[in-house]
Amino acid sequence: MATRRGQTVVVAQAFHAPEQATRALAKAAFEREGSYRSVAGSPERLAALGLDVSQLTSVREIVELDRIVDTNQAAVALAMFHPNVATIAPTQAATTKSSLGNTSAISALGTYIQRMQTNGVDYPTLVQAENPDGSPAQIKVGSTTTTFSTIQLNKTDPGFVQALRSGLSAAITGVPDNAQLGAVINKPLDQDPAAQTHT
């Protein structure tokens, strides 16, 4: 987070996949393909980091690469928040995240976010969460009731809106329709206990 022109803005964000799952995925990719190409992310991201996939020679390097929070990771995170893409299952989260990182529309979204930031334009701002009537929304955490903030995406930059739309469409169609990967439900998670481990 940072402050620009008096507003709190999000510089970048990432979706966490457990290290153990990322390690297992990288190991399986190398055993199957003889390289880490399929788990290294897009060539554009690697180039922006000054890397080439041929330089990645160990599972540890893939894990460390996954820890770098940049605009490509922000694009992946935006897609991971979509209910048709998101999963809380550790192995599937790593698989989904890796798959999205290799999706050209997600890479294009990350590149567009980078261009926005270079030009002093923010893709999200942090705003007070509100109820439909405009009053501050509240949540109860333990015995404490408090207001909270939420992320509001930039709606005024048509290029960002289009890049986000394309990225989300690619993510939704690119994630396999597989019960192992997750379940899409139409009611709150706490009302569907059977879905809690896969949604």
User: pLDDT for 66-88, tens place per residue?
Assistant: 999 999 999 999 999 998 888 88
131-165 pLDDT per residue, tens? 999 999 999 999 999 999 998 999 999 999 999 99
The domain locations on the chain are 2-178
20-63 per-position pLDDT tens digit: 999 999 999 999 999 999 999 999 999 999 999 999 999 999 99
What 8-state DSSP symbol labels residue 153? Answer: E
Query: Which contacts of 62-69 are long-range, i.e. CB under 8 A and separated by 24 or more positions?
Result: 62/22, 62/23, 62/26, 62/36, 63/19, 63/22, 63/23, 63/26, 65/40, 65/41, 66/17, 66/22, 66/97, 69/12, 69/13, 69/14
**Who has greater pLDDT, 106 or 186?**
106
